[in-house]
């Protein structure tokens, strides 16, 4: 939450960026917390869930294009630290560090996080924009502001498209008719999200463009 507050502060005071050496975020749901959106799906309530569920990826990317930014996450399996999905902390031009086996709560004081930050400070640079087909596809899906989540349902998904570099798109619809979309490189799932009922038509349109046989 602290990093989200600083994203807002720096967005409102861009003149401060010239005074900042670098910026490190730890387990911060930059793309909008899935738990926050679950508790307040329409963002009507004046609660923390509304703020945690807000997508600040465009703000974070604008900052990361000007100063070196690090995003550190934990992963206890299925692309989550138990609270924040791994992909929710990813954004363009930030250095991304995944630490396997660490849950959300211990991250703020974990020595492996401190080591990652120190290593970043030794060579803090603005990361290049990724241009591989998986990154471009994920960026297109993220433009829809889908709710990123863990990938525990990846094995239930149906393959709908395979690109020449083995980037694959999968979909799964749960019992409540909520559409989940996954992107994998080979057999490794690198993106997982679901579309709320208001966003399902936009997702279906993009999936149709990518794979015209999608139903």
Pairing of strands 147-148, 95-100: unpaired
Cα-Cα-Cα-Cα dihedral sign, residues 7, 84, 91, 181: negative
**Residue 213 pLDDT greater than 70, yes or no:** no
Please name which of 7, 127, 19, 14 lies closest in space to residue 58, comparing C-alpha atoms: 7
pLDDT band, very low/low/confident/very high, at 200 (cuts 50, 70, 90):
confident
**Residue 215 pLDDT greater than 60, yes or no:** no
The residue-averaged pLDDT of 102-118 equals 97
E strand or H helix at 23: strand 23-26
**Residue 211 pLDDT greater than 80, yes or no:** no
**Residue 112 pLDDT greater than 80, yes or no:** yes
| Sequence-ordered list of residues with C-beta below 8 angstroms from that of 205, at least 6 positions apart, any chain | none
pLDDT for 42 equals 67
**Residue 214 pLDDT greater than 70, yes or no:** no
The residue-averaged pLDDT of 206-214 equals 76
Distance in angstroms (rounded) separating the CA atoms of residues 8 and 36: 18
* Phi, psi for 107 (deg, rounded to 5): -60, -40
Distance in angstroms (rounded) separating the CA atoms of residues 108 and 155: 32
E strand or H helix at 147: strand 147-148
Domains of the chain: 2-122 (3.40.50.1820), 133-210 (no CATH)
Q: What is the DSSP string of 105-146?
A: GGGGG-HHHHHHHHHHHHT--PPPPP-SHHHHHHHHHHTTT-
Question: From edge to edge, which strands make up the β-sheet containing 69-75?
Answer: 23-26, 69-75, 95-100
At how many degrees (to 10) do helices 57-64 and 2-12 cross?
70
The residue-averaged pLDDT of 171-180 equals 92
Q: What is the pLDDT of residues 16-46, one digit of tens each?
A: 999 999 999 999 999 999 999 888 776 767 7
CB atoms within 10 A of CB 207: 20
With residues binned 3-state (H G I as helix, E B as strand, rest as coil), the percentages for the chain, rounded to 5, are 40, 20, 40
Q: What is the pLDDT of residues 122-173, one digit of tens each?
A: 999 999 999 999 999 999 999 999 999 999 999 999 999 998 889 999 999 9
Q: Please check whether residue 147 is in contact with residue 193, taking contact to mean a CB–CB distance below 8 angstroms.
A: yes
* Phi, psi for 209 (deg, rounded to 5): -65, -40
% residues pLDDT > 70 (the chain): 97
**Residue 197 pLDDT greater than 90, yes or no:** no
Mean pLDDT across the chain, nearest whole number? Answer: 93
The residue-averaged pLDDT of 105-118 equals 97
């Amino acid at each position: 939450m602290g990093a989200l507050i600083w994203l807002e502060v720096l967005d409102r005071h861009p003149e401060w960026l010239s005074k900042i050496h670098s910026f490190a975020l730890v387990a911060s749901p930059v793309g909008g917390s899935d738990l926050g959106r679950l508790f307040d799906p329409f963002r009507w309530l004046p609660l923390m869930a509304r703020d945690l569920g807000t997508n600040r990826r465009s703000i974070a990317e604008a900052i990361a294009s000007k100063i070196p930014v690090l995003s550190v996450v934990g992963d206890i399996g299925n692309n989550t630290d138990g609270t924040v999905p791994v992909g929710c902390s990813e954004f363009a031009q930030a250095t991304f560090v995944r630490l396997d086996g660490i849950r959300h709560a211990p991250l703020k004081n974990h020595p492996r996080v401190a080591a990652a930050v120190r290593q970043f400070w030794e060579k803090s640079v603005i990361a290049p924009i990724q241009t591989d087909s998986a990154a471009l596809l994920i960026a297109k899906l993220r433009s829809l502001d889908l709710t990123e989540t863990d990938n525990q349902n990846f094995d239930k998904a149906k393959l709908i498209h395979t690109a020449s570099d083995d980037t694959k798109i999968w979909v799964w619809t749960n019992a409540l008719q909520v559409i989940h979309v996954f992107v994998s490189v080979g057999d490794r799932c690198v993106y997982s999200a679901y579309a709320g009922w208001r966003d399902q038509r936009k997702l279906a349109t993009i999936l149709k463009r990518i794979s015209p046989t999608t139903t």
